[in-house]
Amino acid sequence: MIKTTNIDGLLIIEGGKTFEDDRGFFREPFRRNEFEEVLGKPWVHVQENQAFSKKDVLRGIHIAPWDKFIYCPYGEVLSVLVDVRKDSPTFKQIFKMQIGFSNKVKLFIPAGLGNSYVIISEEAVYEYQVNAYYAPGMEKGIAWDDPELGIDWAIANPILSEKD
């Protein structure tokens, strides 16, 4: 099931086929034909990235010139997205949602949105496909604690990199 959000172009993709038995499960988190039907255009990812993080690690707010399809196959994250596209009808709006193993939710993030997340389980794996190759200098960023945005991260002392 596909749902729209308060941010233009940002989609919530729920479900995906899961086959369970006494051994565990098999899941199809992504099917290109179904995804393209929802997007209404072809989707070709050229790079897939994976990040492993521990509780209270905060990554972002990163702004990139490519679309992303994100998924958290292990653990739980609070995904926080900010529309920083000046020509967007939803400019400066914020979207927050828990995604992870428990709810099987994926997100489609259009180019130009600020993408960030904080780990709320003990550990988590965050995976994403992108439709353009990464090259140094292509990303921009916003401070996670920017007072103009006023994001409530629901943690007191996030673990950050120098970049973040």
Residues carrying an active site annotation: 62, 128
Q: What letter represents residue 147's amino acid? A: P
For the record, the structure tokens of 25 come out as 């499960």
Torsion of CA 55, 61, 66, 70, to 10 degrees: 30
- Residue 36 per-residue DSSP state: H
Residue 3 to residue 102: CA distance in whole angstroms: 18
Instruction: For CA atoms 18, 115, 76, 1, give the dihedral sign.
Output: negative
